[in-house]
Amino acid sequence: MTETDADMRGLRREWLAARVFAIVGGLLVIAICVLVVISGGNNQARVQQAALQRHEMTVALCSAGLASAEGFALVPAYTKLASDIVQTRSVAGRYTCFAQTDAAKYQITFDLMCKNLDDPKCINLFSVTQDGTGSIYQRR
């Protein structure tokens, strides 16, 4: 056995190690890319789910405020929500929602007294205003 034969065997082992390292490194890079793509899709789904929950909560909150105004006969029974926008006020827990009929638009401002929107006592009307005619109701 000559010195060149030993060098060739050593060189083959080094090339084998280099190829194994390159293959394992390449597979690791591919796995990381797949993981990033998968987790990015989950983030988007979470964002969409959170937006849907906020929309549902806004509609539920405004529907409860509208039901309270209808219960006091301050707006007609056929009044519908004009949008799914709720405005917060400078007073903590005070919200304004917008409703309408074919003939009129209303702003309903109320205080949320608890978290159970099914309980009529949780909504404390502050004011109901009709566009064009002014205040229908104002709590003192």
pLDDT tens digit sequence for 61-80: 999 999 999 999 999 999 99
* 90 pLDDT higher than 80: yes
- The span from the CA of 80 to the CA of 105, in Å, is 10
**CA atoms within 13 A of residue 115's CA, in its CB half-sphere:** 0
Q: How many whole angstroms from its chain centre is CA 72? A: 32
Which pLDDT band, with edges at 50, 70 and 90, does 38 fall under?
confident
State which H helix or E strand residue 91 sits in: none
Which pLDDT band, with edges at 50, 70 and 90, does 82 fall under?
very high
Output the average pLDDT for the chain. 88
pLDDT of residue 125: 95
pLDDT of residue 127: 95
- The span from the CA of 132 to the CA of 104, in Å, is 9
Percent of the chain clearing pLDDT 70 (strictly above): 97
Contact 81, 58 (CB under 8 A): no
Task: Over range 28-53, report the average pLDDT.
Answer: 82
* 42 pLDDT higher than 70: no
Query: CA torsion, points 63, 69, 75, 77, in degrees to nearest 10?
Result: 60
* 115 pLDDT higher than 90: no
